[in-house]
Amino acid sequence: MIWRFKEKQPTTSANLKVESDLSTQSFDLLRAIDAESIVVAPGDKVIYYSNGINTFNLIKDERIQNKELNNLVRAVRRSGIQQDATMELPRGPIGGGTHDLLVRVTSMGDAGLIAVLIFDDSEMRRLDSIRRDFVANISHELKTPIGALSILSEAVLEASNDPEAISKFASRMQAESKRLSDLVQEIINLSRLQDDDPLKNGKIINLSEVINDAIDQSRLNAEKRKITIFFEALDDAQVLGDKSQVGMAINNLIENAINYSPDSTRVTVTLKVNDQIAEIAVSDQGIGIPEKDLERIFERFYRVDPARSRLTGGTGLGLSIVKHIANNHGGDVSLWSVEGAGSTFTLRFPLATQEVSEKISSQE
């Protein structure tokens, strides 16, 4: 974990006193603890916070922006008694995910300083539940191509005198083993995402750039099907996160738009900003999704038509990867679709705040 001191405070005598107090004893201690931390001076002024605190969007204008946490700080200041609490913070202003935090607030020396220590428990809990049902689903999905390979290899043995049949079975074996390797690759992608918090070591990402790259990756597939991809950037948008993950999410949506559309149609990608939220919409003129399936479409391995999905090399994991990436970035993904008319998937990410952008660019 990287620890960094906040930029220098204006040198008032009060701050100098605080800084000298902190540098002698307490910074060392704060750095040694495996937790994020905030130090609050009298008057509720934040005088120090560790880098990871940025992830929680807790601090603005040198104040803690969370009522519950401010109440805890005041309670400690009044009573001198350490307070422990659990807190759930949204991962972003709109996002589906939460940070599950254990918070400890305690007084620190005689200068009226209060330390807030934050332990992030979300990862452990999230990973636990995800792993459990993932293992169950995956064994089922892997069995299908493995079973097919075993039957096909028996068929090859039995057809040893029939070269035409052998070549037919062999090409089906190739298709099944490609499917198996695609599936394994997607599983690796998904498990990487689940182990990762892109906000913690996030970079500032320019969304127009990422969208253009994602479109380029799908260009060949689209051309084969005479599908045209349009991109319209109505606004500039910078978000905090992992560029390759955000690119993967956008590319998955574009690939689906192509795969589930008839030839010679168009796919439109738009980027705009609404109320500090970046919105990327991917629209197609494809087969659409029946209303009864809309609710379950982001579940792992859920497919409207498994046979069609298999035909296009689908694994049923693409949209759950998209949803993971959106939630991990404090965003979300939503869907509008009419069967037979087309679909629009909208990814939303909170824009990087000025404070976070400045802090990150000062580290680079």
323 binds ligand ADP (CB under 6 A): no
φ and ψ at residue 73, rounded to 5 degrees: -60, -45
305 binds ligand ADP (CB under 6 A): yes
For ligand ADP, the closer CB: 99 or 323 = 323
3-state SS class at 274: strand
314 binds ligand ADP (CB under 6 A): yes
The least CB distance from residue 255 to ligand ADP, in Å, is 8
Contacting ligand ADP (CB under 6 A), which of 91, 99, 303, 324?
303
Total binding residues for ligand ADP by CB under 6 A? 22
When CB distances to ligand ADP are compared, the closest residue is 318
Q: Tokens 């998209």 sit at which residue?
A: 322
For ligand ADP, the closer CB: 303 or 348 = 303
The least CB distance from residue 260 to ligand ADP, in Å, is 3
304 binds ligand ADP (CB under 6 A): yes
Stretch that binds ligand ADP, among 48-56, 88-96, 189-197, 295-303 (CB under 6 A): 295-303
- CA pair distance 176, 142, nearest whole angstrom: 11
Looking at residue 331, its amino acid is: G
Stretch that binds ligand ADP, among 36-44, 141-149, 151-159, 313-321 (CB under 6 A): 313-321
Distances (CA, A) of 285 to 32, 267, 344: 56, 7, 9
CA angle, residues 205, 206, 208, in degrees to nearest 5: 140
Contacting ligand ADP (CB under 6 A), which of 214, 280, 287, 325?
287
Q: Are 200 and 360 in contact (CB under 8 A)?
A: no
- For the purposes of burial, counting CB atoms within 10 Å of the CB of 55, is it exposed (0-12), middle (13-18) or buried (19 or more)? buried
Q: Tokens 């974990």 sit at which residue?
A: 1
Residue 57, Cβ neighbours under 10 Å: how many? 21
Q: Considering only residues 238-257, where is the footprint of ligand ADP by CB under 6 A?
A: 256-257
309 binds ligand ADP (CB under 6 A): yes
357-360 CB contacts, 8 Å cutoff, 24+ apart:
357/204, 357/238, 357/240, 359/51, 359/54, 360/202, 360/203, 360/204, 360/240
For ligand ADP, the closer CB: 112 or 262 = 262
Q: Considering only residues 337-356, where is the footprint of ligand ADP by CB under 6 A?
A: 343
Q: Tokens 């001076």 sit at which residue?
A: 41
- CA pair distance 327, 253, nearest whole angstrom: 16
φ and ψ at residue 143, rounded to 5 degrees: -65, -35
For ligand ADP, the closer CB: 99 or 303 = 303
For ligand ADP, the closer CB: 265 or 357 = 265
For ligand ADP, the closer CB: 202 or 286 = 286
189 binds ligand ADP (CB under 6 A): no
Q: Considering only residues 157-176, where is the footprint of ligand ADP by CB under 6 A?
A: none
286 binds ligand ADP (CB under 6 A): yes
| Interacting residue ranges for ligand ADP, rule: CB under 6 A | 256-257, 260, 284, 286-289, 297, 302-305, 309, 314-320, 343
